[in-house]
Amino acid sequence: MCAMLSVNNLSISFGGLRAVDDFNIEIEKGELYGLIGPNGAGKTTVFNLLTGVYRPDEGRIFLEDRNITGLDTVEINKAGIARTFQNIRLFKDLSVLDNVKIGLHNIFTYPTISGILRLSSYFRIEKEMDERALELLKVFDLEKEKDSFAKNLPYGKQRKLEIARALATGPKLLLLDEPAAGMNPNETGELMDTIRFVRDEFDMTILLIEHDMKLVSGICEKLSVLNFGSVLSRGKTSEVLNDPEVIAAYLG
């Protein structure tokens, strides 16, 4: 059986600077995998390469057995990769419900003429989307805020809404870019429970970037550590976090 994600010798340079150099990773279906490293190590650049924001100079990316190298962001999302961002990106002047429904348009479609003329098929599909969006909001305890503007949610709930919207696209692999950033300890604890639930309930494979070592050590089964664009260490979380090179370069 092939891995959910296989990345081989991925590299990219900006202005002569090697931002990511010969990056390799393999993530099995259902794993919770962490990508850590100091600021500027290349972590978000890796996410941008995986999601088609950047095209790699070298290397190949496989989602299961499909080569997705060089596809654009829409094609990669349809192939089965969704992500969140370090700086939350919501449609802040839309409702909580509508933010999730935007993600559902990756799955639910209807002819343009049906929407223009408001045919019965349009209302049927809209009803199905409302129901599915509410199901996702319940997972994150956001159903009571369904009619609120996204911008009016507390910070921690905006984080959860962004994850809910990503899940609405029906991904196989979910990329979380510093999901605990800006959260207090209680919110981080709730987030850890939520991530585990998403993995188990949605049969999801998750790759996350995170600086919160309590979260990393608490939920990640494996880690890769980036430093200056190259992998410094990889393996089981407990082994990596006790690697003297990692301690010296990052944790120390």
Within 13 Å of residue 247, how many CA atoms lie on the same side as its CB? 6
Q: What integer pLDDT is reported at residue 248 of this predicted model?
A: 78
pLDDT tens digits along 60-80:
999 999 999 999 999 999 999
User: What is the reported pLDDT for 112?
Assistant: 54
Q: Are residues 159 and 178 in the same domain?
A: no
Contacts 24+ apart (CB under 8 A), 60-64: 60/7, 60/8, 60/9, 60/10, 61/5, 61/6, 61/7, 61/8, 61/10, 62/2, 62/3, 62/5, 62/6, 62/7, 62/8, 63/4, 63/5, 63/172, 63/173, 64/2, 64/3, 64/4, 64/172
**186 and 137 co-located in one domain:** no
Which two tokens mark 64? 């299961």
Distance CA 53, CA 81 (A): 13
What is the CB-side half-sphere exposure of residue 179 using CA atoms within 13 A?
31
**pLDDT reported for residue 181:** 87
Tell whether the model's pLDDT for residue 219 goes beyond 60.
yes
Structural contact between residues 29 and 3, judged by C-beta atoms closer than 8 angstroms: yes
Asked if residue 234 has pLDDT above 70, the reply is yes
Q: What local confidence, expressed as pLDDT, does residue 122 receive?
A: 62
The two three-digit tokens of residue 205, written as one number: 């494979």
pLDDT of residue 244: 86
Distance between CA atoms of residues 79 and 181, nearest Å: 28
Among residues 217, 222, 172, 224, which one has the least CA distance to residue 198? 172
Last residue of a domain, one of 170, 190, 222: 170
| Structural domain total, the chain | 2
pLDDT tier at 52, thresholds 50, 70, 90: very high
121-141 tens-digit pLDDT: 666 777 888 889 999 999 899
160 and 175 in a single domain? The answer is no
pLDDT > 80? residue 110 = no
Residues 133 and 177 in one domain: no
Strands in 16-85 per DSSP E:
17-27, 32-36, 58-63, 66-67, 81-83
Q: For residue 167, what pLDDT is reported?
A: 95
pLDDT at 211: 86
Split at pLDDT 50, 70, 90, the class of 90 is very high
Torsion, Cα of 220, 67, 229, 178 (10° steps)? -40
Q: Does residue 87 form part of some domain? A: no
Of 144, 170, 196, the residue that ends a domain is 170
- pLDDT bin (cut points 50, 70, 90) of residue 114 is low
For residue 12, being part of any structural domain is answered with: yes
Residue 144 has pLDDT above 90, yes or no: yes
Least confident span in 89-103, 119-133, 185-199, 202-216: 119-133
Closest CA to 207 of 32, 18, 66, 12: 32
- Distance CA(198)–CA(75), nearest Å, equals 23
68 and 178 in a single domain? The answer is yes
Q: Which of 122, 149, 170 is the last residue of a domain?
A: 170
**Tell me, what's the pLDDT at 150?**
96
* Mean pLDDT, the chain, whole residue set: 90
**In this structure, are 12 and 45 located in the same domain?**
yes
∠ at Cα 204 (201, 207), nearest 5°?
135
List pLDDT tens digits, range 18-44. Answer: 999 999 999 999 999 999 998 889 999
Scanning 30-154, the segments in alpha helix (DSSP H) are 43-50, 73-79, 96-104, 112-117, 120-139
pLDDT at residue 239, rounded to an integer:
92
191 and 72 in a common domain: yes
CATH number of the domain to which 19 belongs: 3.40.50.300
Rounded to an integer, the average pLDDT of 87-106 is: 91
Do 12 and 72 fall within a single domain? yes
The percentage of the chain sitting over the pLDDT mark of 70, rounded to a whole number, equals: 92
The answer to whether residues 3 and 119 belong to one domain is no
pLDDT for position 121: 63
Structural domain boundaries enclosing 107: 95-170
Is pLDDT at 115 greater than 60 in this prediction? no
